[in-house]
């Protein structure tokens, strides 16, 4: 039976005692009603894993003995997402779906045609919420890595990110319904890093497309239908998983000890 996953930083070594308290402890002890003797998988969100057995339970606190440690390998190529801000009701869904599909990093983008506008305190609140959603979705999907959610970027900042990925030999795909190149034609197998750019509900502005492609990105059509901005990245990640080795990663392994 698969272990329940919770996040804890730093992770103790083999033979050490891990303590889960706060919100995680409350969820484990009170909501999940985890009991002594159950197996718990801890992750630091950066690939570190600890296999543990519960030794003590209090109202909002668990103590666990660490029985083994391991490090998960990141799937290759690593995939980042530049996500234009969706409308309020779909904002968190875009992060949740991309995280469950395996995204490695997320950049919120205030593009020209975004209906949602994040400014000042609203930007800080929005990024904080996206980070919380990414952490929750990582736990739900049993991921050893929680994707990094960067601060809000404007178009100039996104163009610089695109240029830096291209300069490192990476691949940048702008998902665009009017593109003539096909998504499947891009050489994802030949790179160690790729970046997906997803526009808002109104589409990416023509001037933004020009700036992105001038920086080295390629505009591509993902498929025959037009996808919502909140689902496009997850569908693209599924396609990348099928044509590369990202889905060939072995199940989590607790056999190695430190």
Distance CA 97, CA 100 (A): 5
What 8-state DSSP symbol labels residue 225? S
Least confident of 27-31, 101-105, 162-166, 227-231: 27-31
Q: What is the pLDDT of residues 29-61, one digit of tens each?
A: 888 889 999 998 899 999 999 999 999 999 889
Least confident of 180-184, 220-224, 229-233, 248-252: 248-252
Conformational region of residue 33, where left means phi above 0, alpha means psi within -120 to 50, and beta covers everything else: left
Distance CA 239, CA 241 (A): 5
pLDDT reading at 246 higher than 90: no
Q: How far is CA 40 from CA 69, 74, 142, 175, in A?
A: 12, 22, 12, 39
Query: Given this model, what pLDDT does residue 1 score?
Result: 45
Grade residue 252 by pLDDT with cuts at 50, 70 and 90. low
Give the residue-averaged pLDDT of 168-175.
97
Distance CA 135, CA 96 (A): 9
Kindly report the average pLDDT of the chain as a whole number: 90
Which residues, 6+ apart, have CB-to-CB distance to 45 below 8 Å? Answer: 7, 9, 135, 138, 144, 145, 146
27-53: b or e for each residue (b if 16 or more CB lie within 10 Å)?
bbbeeeebeeebbbbbbbbeebbbbbe
Q: Please give the model's pTM, rounded to 2 decimal places.
A: 0.86
Give the residue-averaged pLDDT of 219-229.
88
Task: Count how many residues are written for the chain.
Answer: 258
Burial (Cβ within 10 Å: 0-12, 13-18, ≥19) of residue 120: exposed
Share of the chain above pLDDT 70, in %: 95
pLDDT reading at 235 higher than 70: yes
Q: What is the pLDDT of residues 59-105, one digit of tens each?
A: 889 999 999 999 988 889 999 999 999 987 788 999 999 999 999 99
Query: Given this model, what pLDDT does residue 62 score?
Result: 92
Query: Given this model, what pLDDT does residue 23 score?
Result: 83
Q: Which of 86, 89, 78 shows the shortest CA–CA distance to 109?
A: 86
N-to-C CA span, the chain:
24
């Amino acid at each position: 039976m698969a272990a329940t996953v919770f996040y804890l930083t730093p992770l103790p070594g083999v033979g050490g005692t891990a303590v889960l308290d706060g919100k995680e402890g409350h969820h484990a002890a009170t909501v999940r009603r985890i009991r002594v003797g159950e197996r718990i998988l801890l992750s630091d969100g950066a690939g570190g894993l600890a296999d543990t057995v519960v030794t003590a339970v209090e109202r909002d606190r668990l103590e666990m003995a660490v029985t083994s440690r391991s490090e998960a390998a990141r799937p290759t190529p690593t995939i980042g997402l530049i996500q234009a801000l969706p409308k309020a009701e779909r904002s968190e869904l875009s992060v949740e779906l991309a995280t469950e599909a395996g995204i490695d990093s997320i950049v919120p983008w205030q593009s020209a045609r975004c209906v949602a506008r994040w400014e000042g305190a609203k930007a800080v609140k929005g990024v904080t919420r996206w980070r919380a959603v990414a952490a929750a979705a990582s736990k739900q999907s049993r991921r050893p890595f929680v994707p990094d959610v960067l601060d809000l970027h404007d178009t100039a900042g996104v163009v610089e990110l695109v240029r830096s990925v291209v300069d490192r030999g990476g691949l940048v795909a702008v998902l665009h319904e009017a593109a003539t190149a096909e998504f499947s034609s891009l050489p994802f197998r030949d790179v160690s890093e790729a970046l997906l750019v997803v526009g808002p509900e109104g589409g990416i502005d023509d001037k933004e497309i020009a700036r992105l492609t001038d920086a080295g990105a390629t505009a591509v059509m993902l498929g025959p239908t037009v996808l919502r901005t909140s689902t496009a990245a997850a569908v693209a990640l599924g396609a990348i998983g099928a044509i590369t080795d990202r889905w060939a990663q072995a199940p989590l392994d607790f056999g190695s000890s430190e």
